Structures are given as C-alpha cells and as structure tokens.
Amino acid sequence: MLRPILIHPDPRLKKVCDPVTDITADIARLAQDMLDTMYDAPGVGLAAPQVGVTKRLLVMDCTKAPEPPRPMVLINPRITWASDDLARYEEGCLSIPEQYAEVQRPARVRVAWTALDGTGQEEEFDGLWSTCVQHEIDHLDGKLFIDYLGPLKRQMITRKMEKLKRERARGQA
Ligand code: K2U
Ligand code: ZN
C-alpha cells in the first residue's frame, strides 16, 4: 500500500527516531508499504520518518536495470566503520522534491542492522549504496541533506518547500 511522503519542513522529519523493539506484523507491513512507496516515487531509498513513522527503519534498492532488484529492509541500522576517503554526490530527497545539491560523505561504510527475520546483518557499502544508506540513516537522526548546505541555500530551499506545501494545500500543485 502506498503511503504519503511528508514534505520538509515537518517536525516529524527532525525527530531522532526510536529503536524498533520487536518485529511485529505491523513492522513487516510498514516495511512492505515503504518499499512499494519507494519504487512508486521512484527512489532508491526511503526512511520510516518520511512516511510519518518515527522508528529506526529504512528500505533501499540501489540496483539499476539490467541488475535484478535487491530490496533491502534495515531495522535499527548503525554505521560501524566509515572510510577516510570521501565521495561527492548530487543528492535529492523525496521529502524535498526537485531540489538537488552536492553532498560529501565517506565513500564506503560498514553497516550493522537487524533483518525482518530477526537475524543480525553486517555489510560494507560503496558507490550509490553507500551514499543512500548514509542519507537514510541521517533521516533516522532527524538530519536532511540540506543540513550540510550553507544557511542561505538551506533557507532558500525551505522557503520553496513552504510555497509548494501552500500550493498543494490549495490543490494547485
Ligand atoms: O531518502 C530519500 O529521500 C530517498 C532518496 C535517497 C537518496 C538520495 C540521494 C542519493 C541517494 C539516495 C531518493 O532515492 S532521491 C531519488 C534518487 C534516485 C536515484 C538516485 C539518487 C536519488
Ligand atoms: Zn531523503
């Protein structure tokens, strides 16, 4: 089922999210809905706060055709190692539509998490997967990619989003 994606500014996007304490049928349903919503957007990642659930859960699939899809669900993810070398990427965000800016992050990260079946996982990510998982884990800590920009650019983007929300509220966008 598709869920509406919150648009910045929204207090739920600034919250430090709560750990998932037990993996219930509701959590499994939320994860599936987040994957459906991500593919529909389309996007390569989505964090629970973006659909209004302030829990530490994210989904991602950074595969590109003709690779087979690899939908991933990360519960209570945490970065256990990050490379010294950095990588720059023109990031966007489904909660900040049509705004892009270059963000620099560690090129490779190791992430530990719990899978939907309750097993502990750990994997090293590079390339778009690395950028994406760091972008999503930031969401779980209430951090948006625009928080890495200067105050003027961030304020300009926030003003544009406030205008977009006003227009959407009037059914104009
Ligand atoms: O969290 C989100 O808003 C989903 C983003 C994740 C993302 C942002 C920047 C870089 C990598 C991942 C959406 O996937 S934005 C759409 C997108 C699609 C393809 C490549 C990059 C971004
Ligand atoms: Zn985002």
Q: What is the pLDDT of residues 103-143, one digit of tens each?
A: 999 999 999 999 999 999 999 999 999 999 999 999 999 99
Residues facing residue 73 across a β-bridge: 59
**Domain boundaries along the sequence of the chain:** 11-172
Ligand nearest to the CA of 134: 1
Q: Does 131 sit in the ligand 1 pocket, CB within 6 Å?
A: yes
| 95 Cβ inside 6 Å of ligand 1 | yes
Spacing, Cα 58 to ligand 2 middle (Å): 11
Q: Cα(132) to centroid of ligand 2, in Å?
A: 9
At residue 68, what are phi and psi to the nearest 5 degrees? -70, 150
Per-residue pLDDT, averaged over 9-21, amounts to 98
Q: To the nearest 10°, the Cα dihedral for 129, 15, 103, 30?
A: 30
User: Ligand 1, atom 12: nearest CA belongs to which residue?
Assistant: 132
**What is the CATH number assigned to the segment(s) 11-172?**
3.90.45.10
Global confidence as pTM:
0.97
- List Cα–Cα distances, 173 to 138, 164, 168, in angstroms: 28, 7, 5
Confidence of residue 33 (pLDDT cuts 50, 70, 90): very high
Q: Is 167 a catalytic residue?
A: no
Buried b (16+ CB within 10 A) or exposed e, 75-88: bbbeeeebeeeebe
pLDDT at 173 > cutoff 80: no
| pLDDT tens-place string over residues 35-68 | 999 999 999 999 999 999 999 999 999 999 999 9
Q: Which atom of ligand 1 is nearest to the CA of 5?
A: 3
